[in-house]
Amino acid sequence: MKLSRRDQEMLDGRHGAPLRRAMEGLVTLGKAYGAADMVDIGYAHIHAGMAMYKDDVELMEELADAGATMAVPASANIANADLVNWRDTGAPEPLARLQQRAAGAHHRMGSASAFTCTPYWAGHWPTWNMHMVSIESTVTIFCNSVLGARSNRDGFFAVYAGMTGRYPRFGYHLDETRRGTHLVRVETMPENISDFSALGYHVGKSVGGGVAVFDGFARRPTLDELDSLGAALGTSGGISMFIVPGVTPPYATVEDCFPQGRPNDAIVADATGIAETYASFSDATDVFDLVHIGCPHASFEEMKDYARLLHGKKVKDGVELWITTSRSVRNMAVEAGYITVMERAGAKIISDTCPMSCHFARTASPDPKLGVTPPTLRGIVLDSAKQAKYVRDMVRCPTLLTSTEKAIETAISGRFVPRFG
């Protein structure tokens, strides 16, 4: 792999031990994937340092203590606890304090401790053709598919790329990879954000690790709908990019997406596929303890909609309603008066984490000193196929998937309200 003079200097240790360590990791990654050289990146969405694993936080502190800094604008991914309102989630205090230590490491390294899976709603908005890195699949998909930036699903290598400002040129950093592999014929226009999530989950199972090209949307999807679609695509499949001609730069037509010609066969995206996803994540029992909306972390527009749906209403006694969003969006919603409306209705506004990432998870093996004992949950009502999939896998409790509006109706009535019927 060809290295620039500065790449080689970092690899040789001439710019300090942290950069040598980072470049060694990136060179190993590049060689494994046959990268010809490296590219300059303009943005990095990096590992939070997950408090459920004490060694994970200590690794971030080790880098910060050694003098590591971010060479490009960087933001931290979702964490294991709300750093400010952790008591509202029932998180053990030692877990929250350890997560706060990770935030300190990020501050020292010069990265924004945003702790969100939607940093674009918090102002991190990479532009067309910008090479970037991301540890979070939802961020990778949104930036590739909506903004036209170039990113792989990177894991911890995103931290090393942020430190060096460099990344091996392979995968979605190459023009030839950013082409359609599967045509999706949209025969039913999703009616709401949750429907886009259900449709994305249905399609992702067929596309696998390819690039889905959507043809036939009756209107241009909103940014929130595209975000929900991509998050679900990346959950049921290994998708890192989808294309909506006329939305995804630079593709104007379906033909632009397939240099070898439009495929004869297409995946059908219709009402049946949407309904099947809702049904697959709705268990037989209607018993639940928690209603959760805001996955991926809610945008300001979604917070506005939640406030409208909750205005003058009251969450049923014995039911918890969690609304998850980034702290940046939360602050905007505070100024707009939306948080007051939602909290008056009895909702809890949670930042930095979500049900699948907090102390609910049963797939983690936290340090015993943290006192993490996952609660026994009879069920969680959700409006996101992504969250439903990971709640089943990680929290290991029953799920009830419905639309956002119906989820809020559920929280108010105390009875599950399905999307259909």
CA torsion, points 120, 126, 127, 131, in degrees to nearest 10? Answer: -140
Query: What is the C-alpha separation between 356 and 80, in angstroms, rounded?
Result: 9
- In the chain, domain spans: 5-175, 179-279, 284-411
**Closest CA relative to residue 58, chosen from 122, 3, 104, 120:** 104
* pLDDT band for position 365 (cuts 50, 70, 90): confident
Radius of gyration over every alpha carbon of the chain, rounded to an integer in angstroms? 21
CB 114 within 8 A of CB 73: no
Place of tokens 């010609």: 261
Choose among 296, 292, 355, 347: nearest CA to 82: 355
How much is the pLDDT for 289?
Answer: 95
Q: Give the pLDDT score at 364.
A: 87
Q: Give the residue among 417, 419, 416, 408 at the shortest CA–CA distance from 342.
A: 408
Task: Using alpha carbons only, give the angle 146, 212, 123 rounded to the nearest 5 degrees.
Answer: 20
Please report the pLDDT score of residue 284 as a whole number: 80
* Mean pLDDT on 53-78: 96
pLDDT greater than 80 at residue 43: yes
Pairing of strands 38-40, 166-168: antiparallel
User: Using CA atoms, how far apart are residues 221 and 233, in angstroms rounded to an integer?
Assistant: 15
389 — pLDDT class (breaks 50, 70, 90): very high
DSSP output for 195-209 = HHHHHHHHHHHHHTT
What integer is the mean pLDDT of 70-79?
98
Matching CATH topology for 5-175 and 284-411? yes
Contact 172, 149 (CB under 8 A): no
pLDDT at site 398: 96
Residue 421 has pLDDT above 80, yes or no: no
Least confident of 85-94, 109-118, 137-146, 257-266: 257-266
| Confidence bin at 80 (pLDDT 50/70/90) | very high
Beta bridge partners of 349: 323
Top-level class of domain 284-411 = alpha beta
pLDDT at 111 over 90: yes
DSSP reduced 3-state for 43: strand
The phi, psi pair for 336, rounded to 5°, reads -85, -5
Residue 314 — very low, low, confident or very high, per pLDDT cuts 50/70/90? Answer: very high
Mean per-residue pLDDT of the chain = 97
The sign one gets for the Cα dihedral 135, 137, 141, 143 is negative
CB of 133 closer than 8 Å to CB of 340: no
Compute the Cα dihedral for 119, 125, 127, 131 and give only its sign.
Answer: negative
Whether the predicted pLDDT of 351 surpasses 80: yes
Pick the CATH number of 5-175 from 2.40.128, 3.30.499, 3.40.50, 1.20.1290: 3.30.499
Give residue 166's pLDDT: 98
Per-residue pLDDT tens over the stretch 148-191 = 999 999 999 999 999 999 999 999 999 999 999 999 999 999 99
d(CA 311, CA 313): 5
The band of 367, judged by pLDDT with boundaries at 50, 70 and 90, is: confident
Percent of the chain with pLDDT over 90: 96
Q: How far apart are CA 364 and CA 53, in angstroms?
A: 8
* Whether 276 contacts 366, CB under 8 Å: no
Instruction: Convert the pLDDT of each residue in 189-228 to its tens digit.
Output: 999 999 999 999 999 999 999 999 999 999 999 999 999 9
Question: Are the C-beta atoms of 391 and 380 separated by less than 8 Å?
Answer: yes
Strands 182-186 and 212-215 turn out to be: parallel
